[in-house]
Structure 1
């Protein structure tokens, strides 16, 4: 039978690589009846879809209202008010202005200055893990560690992490989560409004306190062409940073630790040769990236991979598929920790390349460094066939993973 991408298939969700290999070879631009969208698995075609913004727009939310039941449109409108502040869903020139502003605040130098703080958070989280005893790694480490980091840089108390993340998860039901949640519009709107209240409180506390060069302070005081951001613009940006800096990093950490456990020889080599860890982590991001796909909307009738794409069609660029394209990566299904060059697109490509990627990589690198220094063995207790993966078109990683650290 011809290959078909079905996001509800648990087996595909767990391991999509064999299906994506068939699609790349037989139908690199594939129509998914379940999603009523095009699926792109080829590296070159993925690059086109991610970089030709005049044809494939990032403003994929703009035509949703006519498709939504009338009783849900009020929720959608309120939710879109906040999402319109996200540069993730904007094209140039609006995207360029937003990115220029944020690039002055979120850049490698700023992230490097956070390395000491990130290390202290990692030490604290690892210290709470009992040696030689099973631990649910996602909930005990991979999820809270980057959560604490992003809450700290946004000026929100850590004890509000679970509450804030719960509201964020409700928003993600709309953005890229389960397609089967009947109340996702209502929950996403309520989640956005609750997060907005939390962030307004953080902004008010920050304004009453001292000035500084932390991320929240820089957001409040930043100017572009003499104009400061409004409070709602700051809140919308904080929402985007929370979602981008938390889930993506948590999945990157989970996937990397899972690979280290599955390849003890690689873990030992990196323990003995720490200088190789940076290159190795880039390969692990390619091999099992934290983002499944990026969505686009056809802004006009076009052609991609020999298929006629109509204006208004939705396209999902499968990053994890492009990262195993044999025309770009030799032996793509092999984990080669010395792979170079390694032009993977684990964090996207083009003008929408993830601005927080340096922070995510820093957190993964420091996690691996501390993990290999502190522990000699990493064992996975959850059989691969029992591991539950996120039901999402965005997030790519296990929902839970029991491991033992010796």
Structure 2
């Protein structure tokens, strides 16, 4: 990963290859290296990659200089800029109020408790397939009012989407995207047909919403639900696995959290700062600007590397150390600026509930001795596979 190691097809200097085996083997370690040696780096794959906290914050808070419209496919409201973004953002924020989050917590706790309960008889199990992924699918369906019959298809869809993304198979990715939209449209069609008998859930509510005095277009509702669901399924599952991995490696922290659940919120924020579940986001430069010592031109692609920015020692003292008592106000786990994650409170509740149920229902656990964790490959963060084993004792009661 030496600067100026190659030339991209357009003649731009190529500083690194994000797809190289040594990068994918451990993304966090590779991004730490880039932040220290080439913090504003160009590649033909990601355009400009930014690794420092200050540079990332500069980009994501400057919606006049950097656009979120990065794809030819519409994305509501993630892929919008003001003023168009403003109305849609205000519309969706009403679904993530603290009141709604609190009302949904018992549902999450029931789902988490059932999943944890099903694992009590096993001394060794894989986290993603047995806990993280089914939890993400079930809580998202529960939040949107979608039927249990979608749990299986959505889990299969997640796997197919991951495989196509890793293979960079654009034809398969397009087909898979259409498949997901068909699930959403089926839910919308069922509610329209039911009319007054439609269930009173978020999906039904969206059919009644208006922008500028007109009902939301079908395509816009599909895009909103796609963004919520695809992001939820991947990110929440990755978060659960990252946290479980950390606790399995750090027995003292695990024991402390078992005894004092009030520490969980800050512990989770810090664990996910250390190993980010969401690696990056894209922007397009609207004007020419110097970032670090590099010239970025209008129209250039810019990739902000959240997983690196959150480990920047210029912002976080002892950045690679677990310090749950640190000030988390600079943590970019949920983004920043006008596109900061609207569902942050919901995600925090879901993670707190799941990890609390794990600590209540499962005895002290460690990494499985005969199976090494497998790191996820970009654009995924965290781990692709993780097996843990328990000591067989009864869980400590908080």
TM-score (norm 2): 0.88
Q: Which residue of 2 aligns with 1:194?
A: 179
1:173–1:90 distance in 2 versus 1, CA, 3 Å = farther
Q: Which residue of 2 aligns with 1:353?
A: 340
Cα deviations by residue, 1:101-121 (Å, 9 ceiling, x for unpaired): 101223332122110000011
1:105–1:218 Cα contact (<8 Å) kept: no
Cα deviations by residue, 1:295-340 (Å, 9 ceiling, x for unpaired): 1112232211120012222111110110011111110000112222
1:173–1:188 Cα contact (<8 Å) kept: no
Q: Which residue of 2 aligns with 1:227?
A: 214
Q: Say if 2:148 is the partner of 1:158.
A: yes
Q: Say if 2:103 is the partner of 1:113.
A: yes
Deviation at 1:30, TM superposition (A): 1.1
CA distance in 2: counterparts of 1:186 and 1:196, whole angstroms: 16
Q: How does 1:9-24 map to 2 (within 5 A)?
A: 9-24=20-35
Q: Find the residue that maps to 1:238 and give its secondary structure.
A: helix
Q: Which residue of 2 aligns with 1:142?
A: 132
Q: How does 1:238-387 map to 2 (within 5 A)?
A: 238-381=225-368, 386-387=372-373
Deviation at 1:149, TM superposition (A): 1.1
1:163–1:142 distance in 2 versus 1, CA, 3 Å = same
1:242–1:389 distance in 2 versus 1, CA, 3 Å = same
Q: Find the residue that maps to 1:317 and give its secondary structure.
A: strand
What CA RMSD, in Å, does the superposition of the two structures yield over aligned residues? Answer: 2.3
CA distance in 1: counterparts of 2:272 and 2:348, whole angstroms: 9
1:252–1:397 Cα contact (<8 Å) kept: yes
Unmatched segments (≥5 aa) in structure 1: 63-79
Q: Find the residue that maps to 1:143 and give its secondary structure.
A: helix
Aligned residues: 378
Q: Find the residue that maps to 1:87 and give its secondary structure.
A: coil
1:168–1:191 Cα contact (<8 Å) kept: no
CA distance in 1: counterparts of 2:229 and 2:330, whole angstroms: 26
2:117–2:361 Cα contact (<8 Å) kept: no
1:297–1:312 Cα contact (<8 Å) kept: yes
Q: Which residue of 2 aligns with 1:66?
A: none
Unmatched segments (≥5 aa) in structure 2: 4-14, 393-398
Q: Find the residue that maps to 2:384 and give its secondary structure.
A: coil
1:340–1:36 distance in 2 versus 1, CA, 3 Å = closer
Q: Which residue of 2 aligns with 1:404?
A: 389
Q: How does 1:72-83 map to 2 (within 5 A)?
A: 80=73
Q: Which residue of 2 aligns with 1:26?
A: 37
Q: Which residue of 1 aligns with 2:378?
A: 392
CA distance in 1: counterparts of 2:119 and 2:384, whole angstroms: 19
2:270–2:322 Cα contact (<8 Å) kept: yes
Q: Say if 2:65 is the partner of 1:55.
A: yes
Instruction: Tell me which of 101, 119, 136 is aligned to 1:129.
Output: 119
1:295–1:315 Cα contact (<8 Å) kept: yes
CA distance in 1: counterparts of 2:298 and 2:161, whole angstroms: 27
Deviation at 1:201, TM superposition (A): 1.9
1:252–1:364 Cα contact (<8 Å) kept: yes
